[in-house]
Structure 1
Amino acid sequence: MFVGFDYGSANCAIGVVEGGDVRLVPLSGDSNYLSSTLYAMDRELIAEAVLNQLPQEQKVEYARARAAQLSRAHAARRDLDLLPNEQAVFVGEQAIEAYLDMPDEGFYVRSPKSFLGATGLRESQIALFEDIVTLMMMHIKQQAESNFSPAQKITHAVIGRPVNFQGIGGEQSNQQAEAILSLAASRAGFTEVDFLFEPLAAGMDYEASLDENVTVLVVDVGGGTTDCSMVKMGPNHIDNRDRSADFLGHSGQRIGGNDLDIALSMASFMPHLGLGSLMVNQLPVPSKPFWNAVAVNDISAQRDFSALASKKLIEDLIKDAQKPELVQRLLKVQKEQLGYKLVRSAEQSKIALSSDACVDTPLEYIHAGLHARVSEDDFESAITIPLSKVEALMREALEQAGVMPDRIYVTGGTARSPAIYKRISGLFPEIPIVVGDHFGSVTAGLTRWAQRVFA
């Protein structure tokens, strides 16, 4: 079987073609989407989980490559008093539930795709992300195949990728990320994979509905990246196997829903933890530990925040702060590793603001009775810088193409936000805007392309 596989920053999805139409298959209960999260009681147990699910012919080579991690996994399982076959690594909603139950006891990663193109990764870190992606792909493939007969195995996939995985690092970052995805897909049981830019995939789904030839600016604002593509679409183009001549311009950067959640956390939550308050010497409390707490898509920031030196710094700030009771809350976030939980609360506030003018967000897991009130204006103010970057990407794609679009097609889960739509529509008010399936359009386009590539 061939599929379209959206290994997304926020959610993952699989699509198949049935009777000429695209159908997304359930991956988590009745949902067609699986949250891009993983939780392990100990990070070394991830390699053990991969080994256990590999086919026999791959186990020897993998065990040799991960000998050190597997040895540490054995010790971790003993230290945690886990039974030999007791589950210790969780994916999707199970991972979120495990993290919320034990935020300070295990290893939690949200949106691993956001890290794949990071510059300066050590060999051990690349190996860790290879294992994280492999385990997630194994789980997703198994869940997808459970919807079909045992004889029907998924073997071929077109996997979506952003134009640029990382704002810095250029093509080297893209090659690193694609290599991780390719290796993980192979270990997960895919015999052949192809890659397609996600905004182009989203545009192909829209193209299936067109009865005229038009030039379209596709704006895909996802969980981890924003990608823009200027594409010629319509009846004269849709059946072409090679679409390179139709792709007039591309731009992309690692700026997406995660960044909006982080920005909202800083602007609306962190003042309740002491950000913006003063020290006894009248200087402001340093902002760096607050930023490190919620910068969940920055490996070095997360490592710094969890370190003993960060704990010592916050304790010193408490001694010298005019409002030590506020900074004490930041110390709790550091000790119990609640940064992801804060960002998740911001994400829930962002989603609620799609329909409500103001939301009251409970933060009682930080301090009893603590709530943060967030309005539409607060959100728009908090995300000014990320939205400016989205605007710049749209202009960059237009500049590369050298033409103006007939229409703008907006997709991606983050684009559901009225604040984002208002910014995009206000940039070129004379151009009609079409809003696609915020979550399913990329998967549908990947699936249509898989039919052309593999069928």
Structure 2
Amino acid sequence: MRACGLDFGTSNTAAALPDGTVLPLQPHTQEPRLFRSVLFFPDDEPEIFAGADAIQRYLEDNTGRFIQSVKSFLHSRGFRATQVKGRTYTIEELVAILLRRVRDAAGAHMGEAPEAVILGRPAVFTPDPEADALAQQRLLRAAEIAGFKHVQFLIEPIAAALAYEAQLKRDELVLVADFGAGTTDLTLMRLGPSRREKQDRREDVVGSTGVRIGGDRFDAEIMRHKLLPRFGAGSTYRVRGFSDKRLPIPQHVLAKLLSWHEMSFIREKSTQELLETMLDTSDRKAEIQALYDLVMDNLGYRLFRAIEAAKVQLSKVEQTTLDFEEARISLHEPITRAEFEEFSKPLLDELEQCTEGLLARHPEAEHIDAVFLTGGSSQIPAVRQLYVRRFGEERVRTADAFTSVAEGLGRASAHLKV
């Protein structure tokens, strides 16, 4: 029975063979091994677009429903389903559409679509045990709807550890930190040649934990500190029916601007009416025009791609400019690495506390041989330095930031029992 490993991520999804080969799921794109975890339902045609094709179709004509970061809602009891073009889709059905497209794309390279899968999951979807269990149940059901007959789960940092282990020539005690878009997972694990062929690796795991900090939250801090004033933060508007009563923009509106996957949820009638009132009466009309276009023209995804691009640049240079020109929005905002690190300090502190908490619970952590960092945010200099300060430059190692988990899941699928 054909098997694969599948890393379903908040931003990207990847799949790998039992030998660790990460598959080119979308060979027509610049990043063929990364299948973007997005869907687009155009208004004027029945086809559902997924991955890079969804992004391209959305950018060509955004009249439709663009859905992204659905993984981040798996644990939410409040998000059971959504209406798209008059049809109700459960969260499991939305995830299943993505997983089915990935399964079919993998099948094109394997000769037939895989029926068995090792599916990655965070160390913790959420600290609430019931909500965490709900998230895994939903992900399991989505995989079954997508056509997988046999599904086993492996937490993502263990998968990353297995990818790292493939290159080891001696046994090591390793701290693995996997930085995703929505979460960071940490696992302390014994790895090496003497353990590599074991089918059950549970006894090699010393400890594991996670925290809801990922690339999206680093992006949000840039939005919060650099861009919210450009969309009206700090301005006031006149309340309808009162000639002398003015209010600031409601905090719930500004809060949703920090998450590109939540921004579309404020395109409701009551918010539109509020935006129109602010357009008429704001003391900073140009900024409210920018806010109106950002929300009503569904430009959140494009804006956060520009934010992400600036963040990536700051991993290479000390200063960059965040450029974004759409509708009545014109942003050319300089940002320095020092500023970004200051914005990110609360996140870095939380990451450090999570790491130290794991180490404190396991005395053998005094003998860590290596720290393996993977995932997009591992490339942020301040994140890397957090671990370099704690363990020394010689013990901190990295690999492919975006496919290590998929590679490890693929290697684990070689031992899949069906």
Q: TM-score range by the shorter chain?
A: 0.7 to 0.9
Amino acid aligned to 2:256: N
- Give the conservation status (yes or no) of the 8 Å contact 1:212–1:234: yes
Shift of 1:182: 1.5
1:6 counterpart = 2:7: yes
Per-residue CA deviation, residues 272-311 of structure 1 (Å, 9 max, x unaligned), is: 222245679998655432221232345xx753x2222223
SS of alignment partner, residue 325 of structure 2: coil
| Residue equivalent to 1:233 | 191
Of the structure 1 ranges 343-352 and 272-281, higher mean CA displacement relative to structure 2 is found in: 272-281
In 1, distance between residues paired with 2:221 and 2:352? 17
TM-score of the aligned structures, taking structure 1 as reference length = 0.81
1:143 counterpart = 2:105: yes
1:370 counterpart = 2:331: yes
Shift of 1:320: 5.2
| Residue equivalent to 1:62 | none
SS of alignment partner, residue 28 of structure 1: coil
In 1, distance between residues paired with 2:326 and 2:78? 34
Amino acid aligned to 2:50: V
Normalized per residue, which structure has more strand? 2
In 1, distance between residues paired with 2:67 and 2:212? 17
1:216 counterpart = 2:180: no
Shift of 1:227: 0.2
Amino acid aligned to 1:145: G
1:207 and 1:345, CA in 2 relative to 1: closer, same or farther beyond 3 A? same
1:129 counterpart = 2:130: no
1:271 and 1:208, CA in 2 relative to 1: closer, same or farther beyond 3 A? same
- Give the conservation status (yes or no) of the 8 Å contact 1:159–1:196: yes
How many residues are treated as equivalent by the alignment? Answer: 402
Per-residue CA deviation, residues 121-169 of structure 1 (Å, 9 max, x unaligned), is: 34668952211111111111111111243xx331111011001113x5x
Normalized per residue, which structure has more helix? 1
- Give the conservation status (yes or no) of the 8 Å contact 1:250–1:400: no
- Aligned pairs for 1:395-406 (under 5 A) are 395-404=356-365, 405-406=368-369
- Give the conservation status (yes or no) of the 8 Å contact 1:358–1:376: yes
Per-residue CA deviation, residues 401-424 of structure 1 (Å, 9 max, x unaligned), is: 233222211111221222322233
1:291 counterpart = 2:255: yes
- Aligned pairs for 1:78-97 (under 5 A) are 80=44, 82=45, 86-87=46-47, 89-97=48-56
| Residue equivalent to 2:115 | 155
- Aligned pairs for 1:34-433 (under 5 A) are 34-41=35-42, 80=44, 82=45, 86-87=46-47, 89-103=48-62, 105-122=63-80, 127-149=89-111, 152-166=112-126, 168=127, 170-277=128-235, 285-298=249-262, 302-303=264-265, 305-318=266-279, 321-367=282-328, 369-404=330-365, 405-429=368-392, 432-433=395-396
- Give the conservation status (yes or no) of the 8 Å contact 2:231–2:291: yes
Shift of 1:375: 1.9
SS of alignment partner, residue 257 of structure 2: helix
Per-residue CA deviation, residues 362-392 of structure 1 (Å, 9 max, x unaligned), is: 2210436432222212322222222222222
Sequence identity, in percent? 29
Amino acid aligned to 1:450: S
SS of alignment partner, residue 271 of structure 2: helix
In 1, distance between residues paired with 2:209 and 2:261? 21
- Give the conservation status (yes or no) of the 8 Å contact 1:265–1:342: no
- Give the conservation status (yes or no) of the 8 Å contact 2:388–2:396: yes
- Give the conservation status (yes or no) of the 8 Å contact 1:91–1:139: yes
SS of alignment partner, residue 139 of structure 1: helix
In 1, distance between residues paired with 2:138 and 2:273? 36
Amino acid aligned to 1:239: E
1:313 and 1:423, CA in 2 relative to 1: closer, same or farther beyond 3 A? farther
Per-residue CA deviation, residues 69-100 of structure 1 (Å, 9 max, x unaligned), is: xxxxxxxxxxx4x4xxx52x110111112222
Shift of 1:177: 1.7
- Give the conservation status (yes or no) of the 8 Å contact 2:38–2:50: yes
- Give the conservation status (yes or no) of the 8 Å contact 1:156–1:454: no
1:184 and 1:248, CA in 2 relative to 1: closer, same or farther beyond 3 A? same
- Give the conservation status (yes or no) of the 8 Å contact 1:295–1:302: no
In 1, distance between residues paired with 2:279 and 2:363? 55
- Give the conservation status (yes or no) of the 8 Å contact 2:174–2:191: yes
1:172 and 1:431, CA in 2 relative to 1: closer, same or farther beyond 3 A? farther
In 1, distance between residues paired with 2:388 and 2:405? 21
In 2, distance between residues paired with 1:258 and 1:382? 14
- Give the conservation status (yes or no) of the 8 Å contact 1:293–1:333: no
User: CA RMSD, aligned part only?
Assistant: 2.6
Per-residue CA deviation, residues 211-252 of structure 1 (Å, 9 max, x unaligned), is: 322211111001121100111222333233222222111111
In 2, distance between residues paired with 1:159 and 1:277? 47
1:33 counterpart = 2:34: yes
SS of alignment partner, residue 452 of structure 1: coil
- Give the conservation status (yes or no) of the 8 Å contact 2:73–2:79: no
Of the structure 1 ranges 429-438 and 218-227, higher mean CA displacement relative to structure 2 is found in: 429-438
1:297 and 1:364, CA in 2 relative to 1: closer, same or farther beyond 3 A? closer
Of the structure 1 ranges 381-390 and 281-290, higher mean CA displacement relative to structure 2 is found in: 281-290
Per-residue CA deviation, residues 308-343 of structure 1 (Å, 9 max, x unaligned), is: 222333344455543222122112222212222222
- Give the conservation status (yes or no) of the 8 Å contact 1:115–1:297: no
In 2, distance between residues paired with 1:365 and 1:434? 40
1:314 and 1:446, CA in 2 relative to 1: closer, same or farther beyond 3 A? same
- Give the conservation status (yes or no) of the 8 Å contact 1:285–1:321: no
1:33 and 1:193, CA in 2 relative to 1: closer, same or farther beyond 3 A? same
| Residue equivalent to 1:53 | none
